[in-house]
A and B are shown apart, each in its own frame.
Chain A
Amino acid sequence: MSFFTIQQLEKSFTVGETNEMILKGIDLPLHKGEITALVGASGSGKSTLLTIAAGLQSASNGHIYFNEQDLTSLSQEQLRQMRAEQFGFVFQFAHLVPFLTAEEQLLLMLDVANKKKNKKDVARVLELVGMTHRKTAYPSSLSGGEKQRIAIARAIIHEPKILFADEPTASLDSKRSSEVMMLLQSLTKTLNLTTLLVTHDEEMLRYVDKTVHMRDGKILDEQLS
């Protein structure tokens, strides 16, 4: 079994009297040191798949195994702890805490993950994402690209095993999008992370190891880069 495995995952919503199936039996293994990209048209179920895998919403059926533990059987508190300690998140918008400096965003994440607060680690990660010079800046004074870099730094500071990125470049221009993707690629390799990302930008696929095409809640095909 892979390090992170999605098995026969289903998700349905009840809208009025109809039961709408969003995910229809997804099987997907994720590997260490690899970026897997989920692509597909709107409504294909890629974002739903990512958020279920990340423990942000529940599945209707199926299993998600991480380190041989079934995430679908965990309580809300266990999932929270898992998110805090083992997962890293990069969202479409940076979603930084507005009243914390770049450095404090990272210290907060260490606190949440119950990791020892170490300013040296913070400095190292800020350097890794090229933001050392902006460590005392608040989000309101950062550009979109800078915010996303800090969001990535926050997502990896606590040394997570898996990085979930939901359209991390959607709010950036093409130059900054490439920079962010290169950074994600480099971090995935250097830190031996397992990265699952959702994108609708075909240009960004050149930075990933595996592309999973989705349509109508099913996987159409998987391509290795």
Chain B
Amino acid sequence: MNLAWKEMKKNKSKFFIFGLIVLLISLLTFMIAGLANGLSQDNAALIKELPDGQFYMTTEAEDNYALSRISSTQQKELLLKYPDATALSIQMGMFHNAEGNQQSVAFVTTTESDIFPKVAAGEMIVDISLKEEGFKIGDILTSNQFSGQWEIVGFSDQTKFNHAAVAFIHQEDFTEMYRTTDLQLLYLADEEVKTIDGLTMYSNKDFLNTIPSYSAEQLSLNMIIWFLVVISGMLFAIFFYMMNVQKIGLYGILKAIGVKTSTLFIMMWTQMLLISAIALSISLLLSQLFQNFAPQGMPFHLTLNTTLLFAAIFLVIGFFGATLSGLQIKKVQPLQAIQQGEI
């Protein structure tokens, strides 16, 4: 007889409340994780969204990409040797629109590449988040550092850097603005490690960690997420523990009439898994829906893999809590339950 299901069917409201609590705790964790990941994405989406590969900067720059200088001669040699490579530079700056509104951006220029958007001189492709700021295709933009003007010709997705929208401009425009033909970085979208003389190599992740604001912020965000996951997981464990400990009397009587302890464990695990699976699925669905409908400007980023990982952690910790209460069930003496009076 499926005791677990019978009990849930009879006590619908009680188990609905249990499920609701699990749903709310998990949703809170997913939402906070989404916001934290969103902030992280806001800081480095430009790099994070690139395929796995290698970044190179000059060794003298000592892990500070802003100090890295790859000369135009060296660029030509390297691009001849590695045709799939892209040389690029990132510089924080600002532009104005026709109404005089000022916008901070990260100007990015790259050599010919299949990975980064292509722009001609006088053109600009900006991150889609600027759409919400009122920028649109055809807008004319200017900058104090640039003698000419740009026209917005398109929007790019997931291209933020240092909490600013990225603005892709042509190398010619970049050279005029920053008065140098040197570029800071070389990127090779190739997982195979290639050593280049005079340049230090970084994986995408290692390169991100060289950005001081990113590594410090990431540490805090990771702490927030994992504290929340651990505390939520512990709440799950305590919650399932309490739920079962309350039923010790019932378990004692069932043992007295001859029900196997393993049957009681199965009953307990079934209820825990059923409640968790339903609540976590709804929570997962709600968080993914929120991701799709959240305002563009809101830093919210939650991949299905991350959510599934958290859900799996909750299931494991919940299972652990339920099993811990199962040890109490194993210890309960039928006689004790009988003598305790009506269940």
Identify the A interface with B (CB < 8 A). Answer: 51, 56-57, 80-81, 83-85, 87, 89, 91-95, 97-100, 104, 107-109, 111-113, 138, 154, 166
Contacts and interface: CB of A to CB of B under 8 A. Distances in A.
Nearest to A144: B342
B335 A95 contact: no
Contact of A85 (B9, B256, B258, B343): B258
A81 B261 CA distance: 12
B341 A83 contact: no
29 contacts: A51-B335, A51-B338, A56-B335, A57-B333, A80-B255, A81-B258, A83-B256, A85-B258, A89-B256, A91-B338, A92-B338, A93-B341, A93-B343, A95-B256, A95-B337, A95-B338, A95-B342, A97-B250, A98-B343, A99-B7, A99-B10, A100-B6, A100-B10, A107-B1, A108-B1, A111-B1, A113-B258, A138-B10, A166-B338
B253 interface: yes
Contact of B257 (A89, A99, A100): A89
Contacts of B337: 95
Contacts of A113: 258
Interface of B: 1, 3, 6-7, 9-11, 250, 253-260, 333-335, 337-338, 341-343
B258 A98 contact: no
A166 B335 CA distance: 11
A99 B6 contact: yes
Contacts of A84: 257-259
Contacts of A85: 258
A95 B11 contact: no
A89 B257 CA distance: 7
Given A95-B343, A112-B258, 6 more contacts: A56-B338, A81-B258, A91-B338, A92-B338, A94-B342, A108-B3
Greatest chain B CB density within 10 A among A95, A108, A112, A166 is at: A95
A107 B10 CA distance: 17
Q: Which of B10, B254, B257, B259 gathers the greatest number of chain A CB atoms within 10 Å? A: B257
A83 B335 CA distance: 13
Given A57-B335, A107-B1, A112 B342 contact: no
A52 to B, nearest CB: 10
Contacts of B259: 84, 112
A152 B254 CA distance: 15
Nearest to A83: B258
Contacts of B11: 99
B10 to A, nearest CB: 4
A221 B212 CA distance: 91
Contacts of A95: 253, 256, 337-338, 342-343
A104 B257 contact: no
The 10 closest A-B pairs by CB, nearest first: A84-B258, A99-B10, A93-B342, A99-B7, A83-B258, A95-B253, A56-B335, A112-B258, A111-B1, A108-B1
